[in-house]
Structure 1
């Protein structure tokens, strides 16, 4: 019926009205930088960083801020409401403390909804139809340490039944009190997932979680599927080929599965990886557009005529990606040469530096990796891969380091240099610098640190340090 009405409108020449929703969201997307919360610039922000944003929202017109309770360590957990419509939409983010992409996007959305601008009339129309409740940073203690679990060491997404954690009880009580019609369960997933069996990373993965082992589809779950199908069309315009479908096996302890079971049409959004976006600032914008598209569709019932087949066509995400994949290198093992692909991941390790982490590059797999892909790939056909040597002299300081002929040492096969005292800050150098206690690893093996040389005809052509290409022969 809706399609017929739209066609009739267009036949009458009311093209602006027929095209307006899509055009308006296009325009909002273009204006996104105006709504991007400028104080959140990286993933490792903490509860103290969002408190000024919550306090600012408490002063905004037509916004309700409510403290729902506190975490194990006493950090406040807030619910922020915009809109006054009869359809209730509940969104929660950072249930896992190290999954912060959607929290940034939620504050971007709140900036959008509270701004007075050329979209004010559009927003008012939406917000008279829906009431939007947002719970950013459900796990503030985990966020403090940028770790998945809460202060008890409990995974909140496995506490939906026993409700032993205060954070889990807060989410359950909010859902029950509101009896939300729709729920957005907002997470991050690793960079290792591809959208189907392709080299394209699953920048976003979506799911209408199952509510039983049989994966039955009732009206509640079907509405979530239909909404995802509509959102996916929008996402394909932003990140074509980079949307995957999360594993839909039923997890009886998970919140998404149970909230679906309790009668709220639940949409899982997992923010994955994208080339050149380690801090997920582009993916943050994708979340903003996807969630806004969903809220608008809920407000106007646009999802109702979607076909479930469109949801089913979204490919499952597959664990197929590595940070660096070296293809067809020759390595020596047990006095023989073998042709292998070498997969390297650049793990993030939390620390107390201003950046909040450092990388730990590791050789995580080798052999025939032809079904897999890398964010970066090296064709090492005709090359040998080997560990570098330790420079025989211990250097006194950075000045002595700078006096060395780096290219000559590289061609001699040296990759590690021991120093009496490591410079602070560490200099930008292709060499791995070791203090007197650090262990030097003399061989390349599975599970080892990703420090290696690639040689062609005995000449070094690439140096890989900690999983990154740091030197190449010109």
Structure 2
């Protein structure tokens, strides 16, 4: 009986200490985040950057006494793959990003973390991380893909499906580094579609986690279990800033994937997927969330707080669903062949690389139509009672784009004109900041509303036009501000 009471007392004390330590860490991270702008790498302000943009940053760390920088491989096109290591601990933590060239959010966060870890502030709080852990960062594993902001490498393959054949130099490097470190923990840092939502919720899955399975049975051994426990604590940290916007990725075993295999090879692997967040196209908010979540994980691993986490809390994280649109219109009247129907429209805006300048523009499409009552939108507009009216073409053809500056767009839109024809359009002209679609002389305007069509039309109620939808953006016609992100130049 005496032993039994002693055991209970020990467990109570252990749980109390664990909760107290966790509370301390949350308080420290909150204070660190209040100073985040001091650590944010200012040379990376948007997510479309290339290998050459990172070189000055890599060079900066080569001269820092606390950071060991070494070349560990080359891409197919000969770009160096660099590993940046710091810390004096025996627990090796390996973080790699941009395995897919167009998934750069965590790369930005890695350089923010490096700035923080080498800064003089919070030195006492960081002491345990840097004394207990040896951190290894491999940013931009796929620099060839990053050149064109593309998912795949120069060979045209998905590096994350090359863990078995290991024919890409990028994949070979990743495996060689993992094996040489015999890393205890690995962070596989990605971006995912902004159209994922947390299952059963209108919230976007801003951050999704996964402790990948290492076999088809999805068994949980100590290695995978530890990854789950770390995720539990990362989730707890993020819930304080983005409650409800966290999900869990599907854990079906993929035998070709690196995350699944690295888990199998003995490294507790945490997949982090950066999704969407309202009004954050350059993912600067999500970048900070990556910084926060990874920092929480490093604190947890360094003092072994994760061991007190309950794996059942990992299972409670909702799964990713795919029921989000950029814009959802509900209750729209639509006339077809003399009959009237009620439709919801789901509209998505694809990012397209601009031809004439760095960056991108939006090309929208109808992603779904019908009863979309179980779907959600970043922006939702109830248009019950409104009828869809196709946009008309301006009667006058403009000679060139410069001539459009003289047009009264408020007047054109109020008359239901959505398109202006321009005679002289150059090949590299693909979008416009004017709130109207620009078309070439031969362009045929779609006659029917259907999936895949660019959403450009008007909404009429009581004989008056209330809204213009131009390239999937909403313009309220009784307001003076007619600005949209962009319309299209359609040849």
Q: 1:217 Cα shift?
A: 0.5
**CA pair 390-444 structure 1, distance change in 2 beyond 3 A:** farther
Q: How many residues align?
A: 468
**Greater shift after overlay, 425-434 or 146-155?**
425-434
Q: For 2:225, which of 217, 222, 225 is the aligned residue?
A: 222
Which of 305, 313, 316 is matched with 1:313 structurally?
316
1:138 aligns with 2:141: yes
Counterpart for residue 152 of structure 1: 155
Going from structure 1 to structure 2, the CA distance change for 1:3 and 1:26 (only over 3 Å counts) comes to: farther
Q: Is the 8 A contact 2:361 2:431 kept in 1?
A: no
Q: Could you tell me which residue of structure 2 aligns to residue 57 of structure 1?
A: 61
* DSSP 3-state at the match of 2:240: helix
CA distance in 2, matches of 1:298, 1:353: 47
CA positional deviation for 1:429: 2.9
**TM-score normalised per structure 1:** 0.94
Alpha-carbon spacing, 1:170–1:346, altered in 2? closer, same or farther (3 Å):
same
1:8 positional shift: 7.2
Q: Match for 2:278 among 261, 269, 275?
A: 275
* 1:226-274, Cα deviation, whole Å (9 max, x unpaired): 1101111101001111000001111010000000011100000000000
Aligned-pair RMSD on alpha carbons? 2.0
Q: C-alpha separation between the residues in 1 aligned to 2:18 and 2:167? A: 54
Work out which of the residue numbers 357, 364, 369 in structure 1 matches 2:367.
364
Contact 1:193 1:319 in 2 (8 A): yes
Shift of 1:176: 0.6
The aligned runs of 1:55-454 (5 Å cut-off) are: 55-117=59-121, 119-397=122-400, 401-422=404-425, 428-454=433-459
CA contact (8 A) 2:87 2:133 kept: yes
Change (3 A) 1:77 1:165: same
Distance in 2 of aligned mates of 1:413 and 1:208: 52
Supply the distance in 1 between the matched residues of 2:91 and 2:125 (Cα, whole angstroms): 17
Shift of 1:410: 2.4
Q: For the structure 1 residues 28 and 405, does the alpha-carbon distance in structure 2 shift closer, same or farther, using more than 3 Å as the test?
A: closer
1:116 offset after TM fit, Å?
1.6
Tell whether 2:30 aligns with 1:21: no
Mapped to 1, the partners of 2:95 and 2:16 lie a distance apart of: 34
Offset at 1:445? Answer: 2.5
Distance in 2, Cα, partners of 1:121 & 1:331: 64
Distance in 1 (CA, whole Å) between partners of 2:242 and 2:223 is: 28
Q: 1:262 to 1:400 in 2, by over 3 A?
A: closer
TM-score (norm 2): 0.91
Could you tell me how far apart the structure 2 residues matched to 1:134 and 1:224 are? 18
Per-residue Cα deviation, 1:63-98 (whole angstroms, up to 9, x for no partner): 101111110000001111010100010000000000
The Cα of 1:198 is off from its aligned counterpart by 0.6
Alpha-carbon offset, residue 457 of structure 1:
1.8
- Aligned equivalent of 1:457: 462
| CA–CA separation in structure 2 for the residues paired with 1:46 and 1:67 | 18
The CA deviation at 1:436 is 3.0
* Alpha-carbon distance in 2 for matches of 1:77, 1:422: 42
Give SS of 2:296's match: helix
Whole-Å Cα distance in 2 between the matches of residues 8 and 286 of structure 1?
Answer: 27
Other structure's SS at 1:238 match:
coil
**Structure-2 separation of matches of 1:35 and 1:95:** 24
Structure 1 residues not aligned, in runs of 5+: none
Asked if 2 retains the 8 angstrom alpha-carbon contact of 1:348 and 1:360, the reply is: yes
Q: Distance in 2 between matches of 1:229 and 1:7?
A: 18
Partner SS, residue 340 of structure 2: strand
User: Quick one: distance in 2 between partners of 1:18 and 1:272?
Assistant: 27
Indicate the residue corresponding to 2:488 in structure 1: none
Shift of 1:7: 4.0
Provide structure 2 residue ranges, at least 5 long, that are not aligned to the other structure.
1-9, 480-491
In the alignment, is the contact (CA less than 8 A) between 2:18 and 2:305 conserved in 1? no
Quote the Cα distance in structure 2 between the aligned partners of 1:296 and 1:330. 55
Supply the distance in 2 between the matched residues of 1:34 and 1:98 (Cα, whole angstroms). 26
